[in-house]
């Protein structure tokens, strides 16, 4: 079998395919049924062949499909059988409410259930063999080990199936082929749109935006009579595509669970559905906490909008308003905005290093000359003056002169008696600030007490904290969001609080972690 990466001539190709076919048949004879016995025992521990046959009957796989898999030495597990059965069902299923266009089947929800194996096995062992000349696109995000993962998959699934694999393309003797495509970003994914494929497999579909997914769907079309194009997706919650995918597949599935014949199906599966996975992989998943645990271990689509501050709990972190004792160190932070919100927070720290964000000023379309008097009034309500503030921190933008302005915003504040100091905004500080705030929120699972509280009157901050999401392009960071034209949403309150909380890059976490008793 040729697995080299060179391009082959057609003649050479045919010879290689014939040799590969002979080799595979020989190997299959050598292994015989005993190879299948081992797999059945592994996939159906305790139940063996009987349990396997029952699972096949429950999933409703056609006999010729199962024969193909067994001849190829592939034993599918129950959720994989269900996927395979639906892949046959959509050959002629009708559209139901909410469905149009190309049939789509998704599988997953969590890491490790054998999604990649199932999608690839159905495409390569069933679809490509039952229909000659099929052209399949197998698309996945480029990763460090992308090439190796494909080779592992080809090795695991096609061990006994004649094929020739050269880099980027897998060919079968009947002329069917699987083209392996990679993308790094949306633009690269869109390179595959506009072409024609009889079948498209999208790995980790939630790494694509709705726009890219839609464009790829348009490319699943055929001129071959008797073949209905389709899309198979593997997915995990979280990622740029989370919201659209949940709506399109998960919500649709919940609504139409009982309908046996339709063209859009989602099969929920977790690592517990895969007996082939090694125990260490399962162990790694068990070690996850918070949002990641709910998403990747449990396949819970509700987690996500991917809340960043999953430790944030209203009942724990929001306290009644109060006037902090005057001896507590007090300071302010500001996220400047004119059309967006101009946010100011007041913070105070007690002797134990616990911080309270105790006042908030949120204004739109206000000039510094209007903001400063209001800031003075707010401070007086808390028995303080501008001069008593330890510092006022704000983002870099206040130090820039914009447009025709003669003075920067900071200079205008200075003229009004408020000296502004730059917040920490250099490269990496967004992530550092987010980590710092997570740490300050504490972690009940690890018995770490909160070191930061927000008083009830800081309405915008309280509203913002739970809706902040992971940035799909940099999950360590918080996704930036702008407010709408009515001023709803937006992350200005978060930026403002972050400027106030991350004041020292060298020792961002307040010393001395207090544990629960
Ligand atoms: N039916 C099967 N027969 C043999 N091995 C299988 C089977 N199903 C899954 N496996 C093996 O289990 C492991 C995990 O499967 P796979 O990579 O398909 O999972 P996944 O759901 O795609 O995981 P991830 O979320 O990490 O992408 C692989 O080593 C795969 O070969
Ligand atoms: Mg996978």
Q: What share of the chain is helix, strand, coil (3-state, %, to 5)?
A: 40, 20, 40
Closest atom, ligand 1, to C-alpha of 236: 25
Q: Which span out of 86-100, 208-222, 435-449 was modeled with the highest average pLDDT? A: 86-100
Ligand 2 centroid from CA 269, angstroms: 12
Q: Is residue 308 part of a domain?
A: no
What is the atom index within ligand 1 of the atom nearest the CA of 80? 1
Termini Cα distance of the chain: 64
Q: What is the pLDDT of residue 515?
A: 37
DSSP assignment of 252-313: HHHHTTT-SS-SEEEEEE-GGG-TTS-HHHHHHHHT--HHHIIIIIT--TTSTTTBS-TT--
For ligand 1, say whether the CB of 276 is within 6 Å of any of its atoms: yes
Are 345 and 383 in a shared domain?
A: yes
Q: Higher model confidence: residue 17 or residue 449?
A: 449
Residue 329 and residue 270 share a domain:
no
What's the CATH number where 226 sits? Answer: 3.40.50.300
Identify the three-state secondary structure at position 452: strand
**Could you say which of 297, 326, 352 is where a domain stops?**
297
Residues 117, 263 within the same domain: yes
Residue with tokens 């030495």: 73
What band does 3 get if pLDDT is binned at 50, 70 and 90?
A: very low
- Provide the pLDDT for residue 18: 66
Q: How many domains does the chain have?
A: 2
Does ligand 1 have an atom closer than 6 angstroms to the CB of 79?
no
Phi, psi for residue 139 in degrees, rounded to 5: -115, 130
Query: Using CA positions, which residue lies closest to atom 9 of ligand 1?
Result: 114
pLDDT tens digit sequence for 137-183: 999 988 777 788 899 999 999 999 999 998 789 999 999 999 999 88
Name which residue sits closest to atom 18 of ligand 1, judged by CA: 114
CA distance 299 to 315: 26
The alpha carbon of 477 and the centre of ligand 2 are apart by a number of angstroms equal to 24
Residue whose C-alpha is closest to residue 138's, from 233, 246, 264, 8: 233
- How would you class 71 by CB atoms within 10 Å of its CB: exposed for 0-12, middle for 13-18, buried for 19 or more? middle
Structure-token pair, residue 66? 């199962």
- State how far the Cα of 239 lies from the Cα of 206, in Å rounded to an integer: 5
Q: Which helix (H) or strand (E) covers residue 478, if one does?
A: strand 474-478
Task: Using a cut of 0.75, tell me whether the model's pTM lies above it.
Answer: no
Beta bridge partners of 169: 166, 179
User: Best of 37, 274, 295, 298 to mutate for ligand 1, by most ligand atoms within 8 A of CB?
Assistant: 274
Residue 275 lies in a domain: yes
What is the secondary structure of 135-198 as a DSSP string?
Answer: EEEEEEE--TTHHHHHHHHHHHHSTTS--EEETTEEE-TTS-EEEEEEESSHHHHHTTTTS-BS
Residue 19 has a pLDDT of: 66
3-state SS, residue 124: helix
Q: Which residues hold their Cβ within 5 A of ligand 2, which is an ion?
A: 116
> Same domain, yes or no, for 385 and 280?
no
Last residue of one domain, picked from the residues 297, 329, 348: 297
Q: Is residue 436 part of a domain?
A: yes
Do 279 and 326 fall within a single domain? no
In a domain, 309, yes or no: no
Q: For the segment 122-141, what is each residue's pLDDT rounded down to a tens digit?
A: 999 999 999 999 999 999 98
Residue-level pLDDT at 517: 31
Tell me, yes or no, whether 320 and 358 share the same domain: yes
pLDDT of residue 484: 64
138 and 85 within one domain: yes
Q: What is the pLDDT of residues 279-306, one digit of tens each?
A: 899 999 998 877 778 888 999 887 655 6
246: left (phi over 0), alpha (psi -120 to 50) or beta: alpha
CA of 203 to the centre of ligand 1 (A): 13
Q: Is residue 37 part of a domain?
A: yes
Contacts 24+ apart (CB under 8 A), 250-254: 250/109, 250/301, 252/98, 252/99
For the CA of 273, the nearest ligand: 1
Indicate the pLDDT class of residue 8, thresholds 50, 70 and 90: very low
DSSP state of 444: G
Q: Is the CB of 28 under 6 A from ligand 1?
A: no
Examine the domain organization and report whether 225 and 327 are in the same domain. Answer: no
User: Do both 282 and 350 map to the same domain?
Assistant: no
CB atoms under 10 Å from CB of 3, counted, come to 14
Q: Which residues span the domain enclosing 223?
A: 10-297
CATH of the domain at 417: 3.30.420.280
∠ at Cα 443 (437, 446), nearest 5°?
Answer: 140
Q: Find out whether the beta carbon of 41 lies less than 6 Å from any atom of ligand 1.
A: no
Whole-angstrom distance, CA of residue 178 vs CA of residue 339? 51
Is residue 381 left, alpha or beta, with left meaning phi > 0 and alpha meaning psi from -120 to 50?
Answer: alpha
Nearest bound ligand to CA 111? 1
Is 131:122 a contact under the CB 8 Å cutoff?
no
Note whether 205 and 261 are same-domain residues. Answer: yes
In terms of domains, do 293 and 330 share one?
Answer: no
Q: What pLDDT shows up at residue 207?
A: 84
Please give the structure tokens belonging to residue 54. Answer: 């029952």
pLDDT digits (tens, 9 = 90+) for 251-267: 899 889 999 999 999 99
Q: Which among 236, 271, 297 is the end of a domain?
A: 297
Angle CA 154–171–276, to nearest 5: 15
- Would 148 be classed as within a structural domain? yes
The CB of 81 under 6 Å from ligand 1? The reply is: no
CA 249/CA 267 separation, integer angstroms = 9
Relative to the CA of 117, which ligand 1 atom is closest? 18
Same domain flag for 162 and 272:
yes
In a domain, 366, yes or no: yes
Residue to mutate (ligand 1; options 55, 114, 119; most atoms within 8 A of CB): 114
Residue 176 lies in a domain: yes
Is the CB of residue 207 below 6 angstroms from any atom belonging to ligand 1?
A: no
Q: Dump pLDDT digits (tens) for 314-336.
A: 888 999 999 999 999 999 999 99
């Amino acid at each position: 079998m040729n697995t080299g990466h060179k391009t082959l001539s057609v003649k050479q190709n045919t010879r290689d395919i014939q040799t590969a076919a002979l080799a595979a048949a020989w190997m299959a004879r050598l292994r015989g049924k005993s190879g299948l016995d081992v797999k059945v025992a592994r996939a159906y521990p305790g139940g063996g062949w009987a349990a396997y046959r029952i699972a096949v009957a429950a999933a409703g796989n056609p006999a010729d499909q199962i024969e193909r898999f067994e001849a190829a030495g592939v034993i599918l597990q129950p959720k994989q059988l269900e996927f395979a059965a639906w892949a046959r069902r959509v050959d002629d299923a009708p559209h139901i409410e909410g469905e149009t266009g190309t049939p789509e089947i998704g599988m997953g929800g969590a890491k490790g259930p054998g999604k990649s194996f199932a999608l690839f096995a159905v495409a390569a062992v069933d679809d490509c063999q039952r229909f000659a000349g099929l052209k399949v696109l197998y698309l996945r995000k480029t990763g460090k080990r992308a090439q190796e993962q494909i080779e592992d998959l080809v090795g695991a699934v096609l061990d006994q199936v004649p094929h020739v694999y050269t880099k980027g393309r897998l060919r079968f003797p009947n002329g069917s082929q699987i083209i392996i495509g990679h993308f790094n970003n949306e633009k690269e994914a869109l390179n595959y749109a506009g072409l024609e494929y009889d079948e498209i497999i999208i790995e980790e579909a939630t790494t694509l935006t709705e726009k890219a997914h839609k464009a790829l769907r348009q490319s699943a079309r055929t001129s071959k009579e008797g073949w209905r194009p389709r899309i198979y997706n593997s997915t995990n919650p979280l990622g740029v595509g989370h919201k659209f995918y949940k709506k399109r597949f998960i919500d649709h599935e919940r609504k139409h669970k009982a309908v046996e014949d339709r063209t859009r199906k989602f099969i929920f599966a977790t690592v517990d559905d895969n007996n082939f996975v090694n125990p260490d992989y399962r162990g790694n998943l068990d070690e996850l906490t918070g949002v990641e645990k709910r998403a990747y271990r449990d396949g819970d689509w509700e987690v996500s909008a991917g809340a960043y501050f999953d430790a944030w709990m209203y009942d724990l972190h929001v306290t009644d308003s109060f006037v902090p004792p005057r001896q507590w160190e007090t300071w302010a932070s500001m996220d400047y905005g004119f059309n967006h919100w101009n946010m100011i927070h007041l913070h105070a720290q007690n002797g134990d290093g616990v911080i309270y964000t105790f006042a908030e000023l949120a204004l739109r379309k206000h000039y510094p000359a209007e903001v400063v008097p209001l800031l003075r009034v707010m401070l007086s309500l808390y028995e303080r003056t501008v001069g008593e503030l330890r510092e006022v921190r704000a983002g870099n933008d206040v130090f820039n002169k914009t447009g025709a302005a003669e003075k920067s915003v900071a200079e205008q504040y200075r003229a009004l008696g408020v000296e502004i100091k730059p917040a920490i905004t250099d490269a990496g500080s967004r992530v550092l600030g987010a980590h710092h705030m997570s740490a300050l929120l504490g972690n009940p699972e690890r018995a770490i007490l909160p070191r930061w509280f927000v008083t009830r009157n800081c309405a915008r901050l309280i509203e913002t904290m739970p809706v902040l999401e992971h940035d799909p392009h940099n999950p360590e960071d918080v996704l930036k969001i702008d407010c709408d034209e009515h001023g709803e949403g937006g992350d200005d309150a978060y930026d403002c609080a972050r400027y106030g909380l991350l004041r020292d890059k060298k020792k961002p976490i307040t010393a001395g972690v207090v544990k629960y008793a």
